[in-house]
Amino acid sequence: MPPIFTTMLSLIKNFGCISLFTILFCSCETEFNPNIPTSPTPLMYGIVNPIDSVYSIRLTKTYNGAGNAFDFARIPDSIYFKNARVFLETRDSKGKQIESVEMDERVIDDRVPGIFATSPNRVFQTDHTKIHLRPEYFAANGHEYNINLFVRAVIPGYPETVTAWSHLRDIPKLTQPQYLFQKVYFYTEEPFWMQWMDTNADSYFEIVVKMHYTDFLYDDQREMVAEWVLTGIAANMTSFPGGERKVYSYYFRPENFYAKIRSVIKDDPDVEARVCRKLDFIVLSSNREMEYYRSVYAISDDYHGAGYTNIQNGFGLFITNSSVGVYGLSLGQQDLDSLAKGKYTSKLKFKNY
């Protein structure tokens, strides 16, 4: 399963589920039909970051019936509900509704080819002007940022409303590197590292690294982005006057950094040279439901309707996250030399400038 945190668009393009319920039974005297007719089960996926301009929810359904389920997965009518309605709602800590908006069903870019129909790729979307989720909106109106976000799906012919909720999260406070930091050094006395503080309960973190670079071809050039996700981030408790505070740290090792680059950028005979432009390091914060889902729920588990879900009257995952990062950093000269000549990346044709 691809990293869920990298972007919402990645999830929207690639996620979808199909329920295969096959019972194997051997008997000399009994004929057994392994296809048990059942109603489709709703499958809902959504990761909402308040700072995004567009919020998206995917709503599909399981399939169970005669025939090859993988064939049916390529038929759009077999994976989408007709005339479904999806709503986003904000509520305060006492459950009082603040805002509600009905999301629009839209067709976005085709999915990456795979098990499911690539087109049309249907999702439900709304934008930040129609429902207010950002901390500054509530601060400007004198409200505490203690808000729950609910999603509801009403499906014709389905007896139960599909629901889920998640608490909107405060943005972590980045303490290292400082915002004036411009260069990334791995071979100094204090190599590049990140540290942040978090006031949210039950936090789970990932770091998204984005490397912007240029491919130079014989008669053209193209701007590219390589991206990877770092996990396994633990908290340290730090004392301060009046109590303790959770502090999270991640130290970057050069061999891991260059090995990641080698794994996400492939050799290309049409490329004559490459130049690294900028690096972004983005901390993504969510709750532990993301970790539970990723640990328990591989995409193959979806096929069996098992695993972890926080969706009521359906399966899937609905969470909110927040993010903070440093953007537009450059590699130091020695680090550029390693990119161009090091054992992990020398075949990728990067220049040391």
**What is the DSSP track for 101-141?**
EEPEEEEESPPPSSSS--SSEEEEEEETTTS---HHHHHHT
User: Using an 8 Å Cβ cutoff, are 246 and 236 in contact?
Assistant: yes
User: Using an 8 Å Cβ cutoff, are 92 and 161 in contact?
Assistant: no
What is the reported pLDDT for 166?
Answer: 95
CA distance 232 to 166: 23
User: Using an 8 Å Cβ cutoff, are 41 and 242 in contact?
Assistant: no
The residues pairing with 286 across neighbouring beta strands, listed in sequence order, are 204
What is the reported pLDDT for 13?
Answer: 38
Largest CA distance in the chain: 77
What's the whole-number average pLDDT of the chain?
82
pLDDT band of residue 291 (cuts 50, 70, 90) is confident
pLDDT band of residue 246 (cuts 50, 70, 90) is confident
pLDDT band of residue 10 (cuts 50, 70, 90) is very low
What is the reported pLDDT for 12?
Answer: 37
What is the reported pLDDT for 65?
Answer: 55
Reported as a single tens digit per residue, the pLDDT across 139-153 is 998 888 999 999 999
The percent helix, strand, coil of the chain (3-state, each to 5) is 15, 40, 45
pLDDT surpasses 70 at 108: yes
Average pLDDT over residues 9-31: 35
What is the reported pLDDT for 336?
Answer: 97
Backbone angles phi, psi at 311, to 5 degrees: -95, 130
pTM (2 decimals)? 0.78
Residue 115 in tokens = 């098990």
pLDDT surpasses 50 at 2: no
Return the minimum-mean-pLDDT range out of 34-38, 217-221, 276-280, 304-308. 34-38
pLDDT surpasses 90 at 44: yes
Count of Cβ atoms closer than 10 Å to residue 168 Cβ: 21
H or E element at residue 250: strand 243-251
pLDDT band of residue 110 (cuts 50, 70, 90) is low
Reported as a single tens digit per residue, the pLDDT across 113-126 is 665 666 688 999 99
Dihedral angle, C-alpha 283, 285, 288, 293, nearest 10 °: -70
Percent of the chain with pLDDT over 90: 60
What is the reported pLDDT for 86?
Answer: 98
Question: Residue 284: is it exposed, middle or buried by C-beta count within 10 angstroms (0-12/13-18/19+)?
Answer: buried
